[in-house]
Structure 1
Amino acid sequence: MRAWVQFCLIYIFSGHSHLTLPCSVVLWRCSLSCCMPPFILNGSQLYTYSVCNVGEHEQDNWLRTTFIQRRPSASRVFVELQFIVRDCNSFDGSSLTCKETFNLFSSESDADIGTSFRKGQFKKVATIAPDEITSRNELRINTETRVVESLSRKGFYLAFQDIGACMALLSVRVYYKTCPATVKSLAAFPETVAGGGVNQALREVAGACVENAVSEEPPRIYCTVDGEWVVPVGQCQCMPGYEAVNDTCRDCQPGFFKAFVSNDACELCPVNTKLLSSGALLCPCAEDFYRAPDDPTTGPCSGLPSAPRELVATTTQLAAGKLQLSWSPPEDTGGRSDISYSVECRRCEGTACQPCGEKVRLEPASTGLMDTRVAVSELEPHLNYTFTVEAHSGVSLFASQGLPRSNRHVGSMCYLIFQSPPFLQLYQDDNLDVTTYTVLILEKSSVQISDLSPGTAYLFRVQALSPEGSPGGSSIEDEFETLTEVDGNERIKEKRTILGFWSEIIITDVSFLLFRRRNSHSRQGPEDTYFSSSEQLKPLKTYVDPHTYEDPNMAILKFASEIHPSHVTKQKVIGAGEFGEVYRGILKAPGRKEGAVAIKTLKPGYSEKQRQDFLSEASIMGQFSHQNIIRLEGVVTKFKHAMIVTEYMENGALDKYLKDRDGEMPSFQLVGMMYGIAAGMKYLSDMSYVHRDLAARNILVNNNLECKVSDFGLSRVLEDDPEGTYTTSGGKIPIRWTAPEAIAYRKFTSASDVWSFGIVMWEVMAFGERPYWDMSNCEVMKAINEAFRLPAPMDCPSAVYQLMLQCWLQDRSKRPRFPDIVSLLDKLLRSPESLKAIADFDPRVSIRLPSTSGSDGSPFRSVAEWLESIKMSQYSENFTCAGVVTMDQVLQMKNVDIKNIGVRLPGHLKRIAYSILGLKDQTSTLSVFAV
């Protein structure tokens, strides 16, 4: 949202006389009217503020607004200007004082100072250069927007300075941006003026959970300077009994429930539960159904198991006094898997029955049986035994009157006649005055005993049984001791003993030997060596830092040739640099072929230090001679208006050039552009030079699509120390392009330039996309430290993306060097088939948005919103005219449909098609997880 202000303008002639003119500015109508003579445009009268004193020297004309009151929280405002600037070449015989730019100034105040005006109160905001210049026959209106930041007082003034241009100011619009009131993650946030306070990019805004929602920490979000919400913190979640529906928490519908605080949908009540009315937290069990103590309260309820079936008693052939009981599981388990069994034994003499007690043994146990069988022994003769088997489950304890009769299976049997094999008694001496024994009924004259404890003495005695089953004579006791484990894993001995009536013993030893390999190879120390040889540790230093000269002018004379200003013709403003305007022009010097050049100028009123800093870049460029480094043609230093003249690059900055040709260039051509940049950087690194600001915006492209490294304003030479680093004392760092060690310690090496080159490679393959998209600098640094790396751009060859990842290694000593990069790119260009393998591409990551949702994670509300999110808003009308007005219709589109509505550029076609692919993929998985 934008808010506008209304103000008047005060015209000041040459900075000396003050004149207040009655005028009315209706900014929201984008028009400005006052008492100046109008001119006719398209049949309409336009009232303007104009000036055209190009024939006079030392022009200094000012135009100031009236007092503009500032909303207390609006520390950043935008100034939109509509203006006309006339071509200086259209004046016959005009002097060289003609300008084609003007300046914007601002001044803060806590009160309206009326017509009082002092230039010293104002600070410069920007130099305004036209994109199109008005000639004699054609009128061209320019629109430019600039930002006035760090406002802190009650109001401010704007002022416009003319220093010799022929121009007209048509309208001025001043506004600020707001983040609109919104609901994100069930938290409501009020409308907020964009941006933070002074020197802050973000404004933290506290929110409140919507009704029936809570959060562990107070929800908050940040409002950016561009009026966008980012980084929500403290997600709100719906309370139990409520589910998230759009931006609200709605109570669960009848038959549904939700037990916990979450944003999950309400669940259908499980089986065997009661269906309650709306807003249920839990579904209680229906009658005769229960939940076990360990069952989740949100799970189904279970009934009691039915009785076990087919109870059978089987006598053994090998030993008297034993039988085996077996049965089948219950037909109805009550819906549970934790079924167990218990066996009850009763002995009966006549009509009197009593529990068997300990006289009868049940193995493995009488309760908690998981298997459907049990062995019974030590039954006495001439008695009747009754066995009852009961089925249990986890909910058995919850039955109000215990297990019903239907859970039991009852059977009876008579005493069996035993046979009389021998039996073995085994005593264990554990040196604790505690003796245990086991009796084994043997069918043979030998037995194998296993699973003996190590380091334990065992006594063995063999005894025979009479035919009636009574014990007979026994052998003498024999003692044997098992071996003790030695050194845990190094030597283990197992003793297996076969005992007969004559105590025959067989011992088997098994030994294991553990070998340890010791690696005597010494590892490389932790020294940080970026170069791999002693010669490379101290590269030949051919570059000379101009700042080391006692007289900087000597460096300029040594490394740059002087040009007479009459040999330079300025044609058109193509930009504004730090020190002044940049022109396209013609250089026609004696002995040289006439050619196009770029001309950097020094703004009027400069200091001597500014002049030296301006010309120092020429001293740097003048030392370089490489086809992939911007070439210095010469300098103008012996006249009042200093200039730096370089070769002219017709296609401008690489990032803008690629954006205008999104998807139109093949991978082979893009890799060729990377090769040129790498060759230029290899040349700089061979000269022991670090660029520090390598980015696509600082690469220039000529008509032959040659890429050349430019902008040496941040560049510094490597020091002579082994690490070859340069430590800055401050200044700004381009975070998105800078290696993590350079951000953390402000130390720059050729290795940090390699990291930046990897980012440039990504920009090239992504056709000028902004690295890390809309992430803030803090988010970028945090992500890099957490090992996040930019994903492969769309249609990026796998070999190229692997080289990017190598450039982004955290350990700078492991990154490739520029000679290695040049060599690899050369091999790729010589083998075009190596570029056919494409790296994995995820449109939901690379387009930087959830494929089926807007910035707040909710589904796109319109086709226009979706197109805006993927930067394809120019096709909104195409979709509307084709009748594609809903996102459901978008999901049905195929590539041929996209072409038919008028999307022809390959890059745009791919971007839209990949986004729709992500939409379909996300739609099919929304019910499973949230992206």
Structure 2
Amino acid sequence: MDYCGGKRYLVLFVLINSVLISLQTSKEEVLLDMRAAGAELGWLRSPQEEGWELLQTVVNGSMFYTYSVCNVAGGDQDNWLRTTFIQRRPAASRVFVELRFIVRDCNSFDGASLACKETFNMYAAESDADVGTSFRKGLFRKMATVAPDEISVRGELRVNTETKVVESLSHKGFYLAFQDLGGCVALLSVRVYYKSCPATVLGLATFPDTVAGVDGVALREVSGQCVPNAISSEMPRIHCTLEGEWVVPVGQCQCQPGFEALNNSCRACQPGFFKTSVSSELCGPCPKNTQRSAPGALSCPCQEGFYRAPEDPQTAGCSGPPSAPRDLYATSIAVGKLRLSWRPPADTGGRDDISYSVSCERCEAALCQPCGGDLRFDPGSSGLQELRVNVLGLEPGLNYTFRVEALSGVSQFSSSHAATLLTTTMLHTDPPKVTLIHLDKQTATSLTLSWAVSQRSMLRTPRYELKYRKKEDNGVTDITTYTVLLLEKNTVQISDLVPGTAYVFRVTVLSPEGTPNGEGKEHEFETLPQVEAQVQSRAPVVLGAALGGGTVLLVVVVVLLLHKRRRGAHTRQGPEDTYFSSAEQLKPLKTYVDPHTYEDPNVAVLKFAAEIHPSHITKQKVIGAGEFGEVYCGVLKMPGRKETAVAIKTLKPGYTEKQRREFLSEASIMGQFSHPNIIRLEGVVTKFKHAMIVTEYMENGALDKYLRDHDGEMSSYQLVGMMRGIAAGMKHLSDMNYVHRDLAARNILVNGSLECKVSDFGLSRVLEDDPEGTYTTSGGKIPIRWTAPEAIAYRKFTSASDVWSFGIVMWEVMAFGERPYWDMSNHEVMKAINEAFRLPAPMDCPSAVYQLMLQCWLQDRFKRPRFADIVSLLDKLLRNPESLKTIADFDPRVSIRLPSTSGCDGSPFRSIAEWLESIKMSQYNENFTRAGIVTMEQVLQMKTEDVRNIGVRLPGHLKRIAYSILGLKDQTSTLSVFAV
């Protein structure tokens, strides 16, 4: 019988074992390595004969040694193998013993004794000195019975690896011993080591090499030290586990001012960059109008002629003093009273804290002196925020010179202040009024009118408001429909009238602020009957007059005055409701009026919003914070109506009058829109201490957050349906000559039925009805990532610029709330757009949808589609879902931000956490860690199935991670491998 046959297969095992590699995450300090010792083993065997045997094998020119015993037929066995003395490191009280061995199946030996074993025992004994060949079994304590997971049979080798722990060691060293009780065992490798947490730098703190498991403590707290040029408010600490891994860091170091974190160290800010505080932020570039800073700068000094106000942070750019106010003019409003009005300075110096001061001199003969006596300014002569001031106590016949200065927070540092001057003579005059309306020409469908104005003292051409309506047959009406025109000339031709019909006209002069001076007297004129007009049309004189007629102004018709009132046959009670559109040509006026044309915001808001008593409103919980205060969800219970869920915007205590006006102006805007895809205004509270705006409640909140929370959960058809709703709402605004200016997914609200509604009119303005149809502003913040290039460059906003923004919103929708242009800075975005870069197609974006995006982003705004065209195209796509199955080309290197396309230097990600953060998938960081994937090299070996197996289940998330891996590998030709 071949009882020693088990030893012959050791050669093959050694060959296999020699190429095995152990991946270690912790640091291992080896105390004994049987394989490395080679011929120097010198282990003690008892008994010396017929027990454990040392075998030698040559593999690739190297000698390997193993211990083997196989006395399965010799009856009871007690064979011992003791190691040499293993010296312990002082702190290593817990060691690991890694065994690699094979055990033969007792049944594979013919005639083997019943005492054959398939296990062996491991013992340990501590000692403060090497006892040499002295061997006393009684000193050893049993540590473990070693049993194989797999038993080898003849011709089939199965190698076992077991790791045992020896704890509570306290002497200078120890021995290990292995006891065989009658098995066929080959001991191939014994490795004794202890674990330590390696020296490392975490959170800008250095931690020393620390032995794991000292005194049996599961988590050993270790104090660290901040790296040079970093500090911490508390001592940084971390914990070392029994397995030699660092966990639970406490406290974090941060770089000092003038330094930034780089590769676990703090380096000085580069020239042209600075950092003002202790933080984890990177150094920032020197802001606008500052000098290039030196290395390690805490701030950047201002350029000559530019300053910072005392309250400005060092991170703010420097600004210059404002230029002079423009177009100062005076209007007589009563005896001894003037109103001074002006326009803002062309150059604000880059600041928004502009205020104005007014001074006065009066001149008699050649003598001029400061105005005194009873002259006063209302509301004051300095610190003015409005673009006007009333002057009271003027004396007739005197020349007055007014000086208006524009001031800002840095004006105190400038030696000269720009001002604008106006000299005027105070006369006894009343505000100008229309004294006579004359009918110049009449036809069956048009009337041409002109009028005269009373003596006036105005320093600019007056503007007029003309209102007309059909004359009511009975003279009494509950609802009055007016057509309202704003005109620069004192003549007008009104077309599209009804033949043989009487019309009532009223013309008033507008003040510089755009409000009517008085009510004006009504005049009645009638169009010609149809037959008479046909006779006249044949007359050469009338034909010649028609050919030489003036420019026809665009007519704008609105329905105003939804309050009931009675009036007599020849008089009217109370002011008329008016909607304004500045125009030199008549055009049908839509139902929008700019609330900024009203001097008193209460007048505007009460025209377009219903007043609600606070007792009808119940606040339930805070759901957000707006610019002016908190936003609540709650319930509105009006008499005769069922309870309605509403959102309630509040005005925070301590508000200024300017903040209150801006707060109410949004309600004045919202109240004029009635469309299923525009947020509905329920009403306002203005007559009580706490002002509120009440709108319909949108359960799912802002569209961008909703999309991020439901990434990959909606089909392209659903997403296109959401886009269609947004486009329909914007078409309604565009049809009303209205520009939004801040169209973005964050300003779209979603209700429980996934209907999208346009909201947030904080940046919105009415479009002046000029041929360009633009709104131009001299300052203010612009949302760069959503704004058309002409609006960025020239502050020129149109419905076409809203179309550009809608293209960005479409991209946000298809990308499930991804940030447009990713982590690019605003400067990089503007540069990229000017260089013809356009956002790439998101994953799974239908080709037709992406082509529409590209049309919205045409550089020439006149070539972009109108919202009516967009709604029509999206309707076609929804009616034909098959058209959404053709997917636009997708390049993961561009469409998912990778180092090679992010404007960086192309270096790979330093960690999995950094990579996942770049593709907005940080929630899966723990999944990779649990799966043992801790390096980017391992990530690059993953397939889609591997990503799914670590717990990424959502299709959208699975695709994003898989496409990102594909982009990192730069293997776009294998795109089908990652198809989901």
TM-score by length of 2: 0.41
TM-score by length of 1: 0.44
